[in-house]
Amino acid sequence: MDTNELIDQEPGPFVPAEPAPPIESRFLFVDVAALRAKQLRRGARVRFDAEPGAPVMKKPERMAMEEVRRGLVPYQVPAPKAPRAEQP
């Protein structure tokens, strides 16, 4: 077996072990999609295969929104900060 054989193979799209929970907040959807679009613009691979006959998406923002819609982008919502006590 040639050692370069494994390097030359193109891996398939990344599929998380379990899908992310559905996003119900439009603001959270926009934030997650914007961060993913930034990754795509920097060269990250798309996490889904285009469906046959469907129009090809070229803009990273559209691809990111589709990935988030399909639950392919893991995210975490930070815990709310405790309110600070007022100083006298």
Tell me the pLDDT tens digit for each residue of 5-63: 544 445 555 656 677 778 889 999 999 999 999 999 999 999 888 888 888 888 999 99
Q: What whole-number distance in Å separates Cα of residue 67 and Cα of residue 74?
A: 10
Beta-carbon contacts of residue 51 (< 8 Å; ≥ 6 apart): none
pTM given for the model: 0.68
